[in-house]
Amino acid sequence: MDAIEVIVAKRDGAELSTPQIDWVIEHYTSGAVAHEQMAALNMAILLNGMSRREIVDWTRAMIRSGERMDWDALDRPTTDKHSTGGVGDKITLPLAPAVAACGGAVPQLSGRGLGHTGGTLDKLESIPGWRAHLTNEEMLSVLREAGSVICAAGEGLAPADRKLYALRDVTGTVESIPLIASSIMSKKIAEGTSALVLDVKVGAGAFMKTPERAHELARTMVELGLDAGVKTVALLTAMDRPLGNTAGNALEVAESVEVLAGGGPADVVELTVALAREMLDAAGLAGKDPEDALRDGSAMDCWRRMIIAQGGDPDAPLPTARETHTITASASGVLTRLDAYAVGLAAWRLGAGRARKEDPVSAGAGVVWHARPGEHVTFGQPLFTLHSDDPTRFERALAALDGSFDLVEHGTPDLLPLIIERIDS
């Protein structure tokens, strides 16, 4: 067997056999298959698709490329959540401790931001002392102490996916649903959790722009989870407008702490509670409601234990940007549209995100919006506050926000429902 044989087969529309898939994943991981050869195969997959059997085999081969984690030593069931990414999506931060407060164990392996979408690890690293990189033994210790852990995936978890993800990002093959689904699910299945809830974002600020494409991706991932023996459920949720009122690392941590304290933006609370209930149900846990955990302080207690166990100081002041710039309303009216992608792009240009994985991020940079679609604003009222350590970044952020919102004298926003659809077995 050789790489050219596999590339040609998929180029010509054939189904790849299980031995072909096993061979190419194993040999790409080891370096025997060149990057340009795998890039050609990825493009053939993007253009010709994969059958369900092929996607299952591809996912299993990536899982076998590394270790599979085991949480049998815990005295509570494990349950996890994965989001496909959006703007202002800080849900993981209040969600993991809320589920822990209700009896679940949440081994949340998260990532960093790239482009206009924020990364959970970047947000948490704005907390002084907090550590993203833990050994498996340290993860188990934090889970026992706090009930939840949020950290980076280890080098041994699905190394094939690590190489493939970087390659897809630079070869125009990110859009392939078989490759997206297998990438996400190989890591989540290898993570060893017994139950998984998928938050598949839909809209301008998400990777999936339409409910139809999001449904296809969600259905594929649910089937992969079920085939692997992981109880898996997906929610399609709105990302035509950003979540909450902030986009940026420390800004989003502060907003998450508000939610944990029983307050915070209504949409962040609603989605946190909905996903937490799904996670608890998938894990077979009944009893305490996550809404109560946010209200009575038990979720906050789990948050503090988790942050401290990972070296952070939950009482330390969060970083703030050195400079701010406010955009005010040029007229009075109803805000009928707020483009999530534009807001995310502005936050990225202010320093909250990165163009390359190795780029640093500014903890204090980001965007605060002071009105949400459906709200009435008056002339001169602040609409956005931009935060950056470098004032020369404001001009490009302002350009990103130009045309990103509509103010009309009388109007009603045309918005997707926050929770669009639920997909299960």
pTM of the model: 0.93
Of residues 82, 116, 123, 163, which has the active-site annotation?
82
141 a catalytic residue: no
Cα–Cα distance measured from residue 358 to residue 363, given in angstroms and rounded to the nearest whole number: 15
168 a catalytic residue: yes
E strands, 59-124, are 80-83, 106-110
Q: How confident is the model at residue 166 (pLDDT cuts 50, 70, 90)?
A: confident
Q: Where are the domains of the chain?
A: 3-49, 80-316, 323-408
Of residues 161, 199, 240, 267, which has the active-site annotation?
161
Contact 312, 151 (CB under 8 A): no
User: Which CATH number, 3.40.1030.10, 3.40.50.2020, 1.10.3720.10, 3.40.718.10, labels domain 80-316?
Assistant: 3.40.1030.10
Q: What is the pLDDT of residues 26-71, one digit of tens each?
A: 999 999 999 999 999 999 999 999 999 999 999 999 999 999 999 9
Of residues 187, 231, 241, 387, which has the active-site annotation?
187
182 a catalytic residue: no
Of residues 65, 182, 183, 256, which has the active-site annotation?
183
Q: Which of 181, 198, 221 is nearest to 275 (CA)?
A: 198
187 a catalytic residue: yes
* Assigned CATH for 3-49: 1.20.970.10
List for the chain the helix, strand, coil content (%; round to 5). Answer: 45, 15, 40
Contact 44, 7 (CB under 8 A): yes
> Dihedrals φ, ψ of 5, to 5°?
-60, -45
Q: Higher pLDDT residue, 85 or 391?
A: 391
pLDDT of residue 357: 67
In whole numbers, what is the pLDDT of the chain averaged over residues? 95
DSSP 130-193: ------HHHHHHHHHHHSEEEEEPPTTS-HHHHHHHHHHHHTT-TT-HHHHHHHHHHHHHHTT-
Of residues 163, 168, 304, 305, which has the active-site annotation?
168
357 a catalytic residue: no
Structure tokens at 236: 């399609």
Q: What is the pLDDT of residues 183-235, one digit of tens each?
A: 999 999 999 999 999 999 999 999 899 999 999 999 999 999 999 999 999 99
Q: What is the pLDDT of residues 308-321, one digit of tens each?
A: 999 999 999 999 99
Q: How confident is the model at residue 279 (pLDDT cuts 50, 70, 90)?
A: very high
* CATH topology (fold) of 323-408: Aldehyde Oxidoreductase; domain 3 (3.90.1170)
87 — alpha (psi -120 to 50), left (phi > 0) or beta?
Answer: beta
Structure tokens at 335: 């805000």
CA distances in angstroms from 211 to 57, 118, 392, listed in the order given: 27, 22, 38
Cα–Cα distance measured from residue 161 to residue 187, given in angstroms and rounded to the nearest whole number: 8
Lowest pLDDT segment from 109-118, 160-169, 271-280, 408-417: 109-118
| Angle ∠(205,415,199) on CA atoms, nearest 5 | 50
